[in-house]
Amino acid sequence: MIRLGVNVDHVATVRQARQAEVPDPVAAALLAEKAGADGITVHLREDRRHIQERDVERLREQAATKVNLEMAVTLAMVAYAERIRPNDACFVPEKREELTTEGGLDVVSHKIKVKDAVKKLQDRGIHVSLFIDPVPAQIEAAKQVGAYAIELHTGTYCNANAAAREKELAAIASAATLARSIDLEVHGGHGLDYENVLPIADIPEIVELNIGHSIIARAVIVGISQAVREMKELLLRARR
């Protein structure tokens, strides 16, 4: 059964819109877990635009499943993660002006920096994944820098029109096969929703999906428990 990591950043985005106390992303995370989430993902951005350090720390104390901390490859974030010790960490590219993570991390061009960061966290028992595009050179570089896992960027597949989608799906499938053949655990994420998730979940090498926007958007209408349950039910239909 493929694992579902629920990203609750958007809950914090609503809270920060009013600099208020509610809605609480940790409360949402605990409900998501009760509804079947296998893990909770949060992105502590450099500009702290949604998730705050206190959220990560409360999540670390209260989550019953695992906490996956998405973070930029900076000395400050690595030091923070070494202290907080999430179960998993996922290195993502981060630029202040981005609305969200727009492309994969360029591991090929930043091998030394990424290798050092991976080692520091993995020495603390944190499983590190690298969020990368489904490109063979990036997968090989992820292996060379010692990462435990990769998270394949599914955004291009999700945004593709019907004609281009099959090609994007094939690129993700062959990236997953390559990664598995060199003993990397394979995750996927970005842009996945109730309409486009199944072909990705059908890729047998992918063992975890991290999904935020679509689940939180659905939660606004039907509540987070139902939104998570609906996604879990869909994933149960995956061919595996």
d(CA 217, CA 229): 14
Bridge-partner residues for 45, per DSSP?
Answer: none
Residue 210 in contact with ligand PXP, rule: CB under 6 A: yes
Residue from 90, 128, 142, 219 that binds ligand PXP (CB under 6 A)?
90
Number of chain residues interacting with ligand PXP (CB under 6 A)? 19
Within 7-26, which residues bind ligand PXP (CB under 6 A)? 7, 9
Q: Which stretch binds ligand PXP (CB under 6 A): 50-58, 140-148, 194-202, 206-214?
A: 206-214
Of 161, 104, 158, the closest CA to residue 136 belongs to 104
Helices 213-222, 25-34: crossing angle, 10 deg rounding: 90
Helix, coil or strand: residue 132: strand
CB of 209 to ligand PXP, least distance (A): 8
Active site residue 190: yes
CB contact at 8 A, 217 and 180: no
CB of 214 to ligand PXP, least distance (A): 6
**Six-digit token string for 121:** 């966290």
Active-site amino acid positions: 43, 70, 190
**Sites of contact with ligand PXP (CB under 6 A):** 7, 9, 43, 70, 90, 92, 100-101, 131, 151, 189-192, 210-214
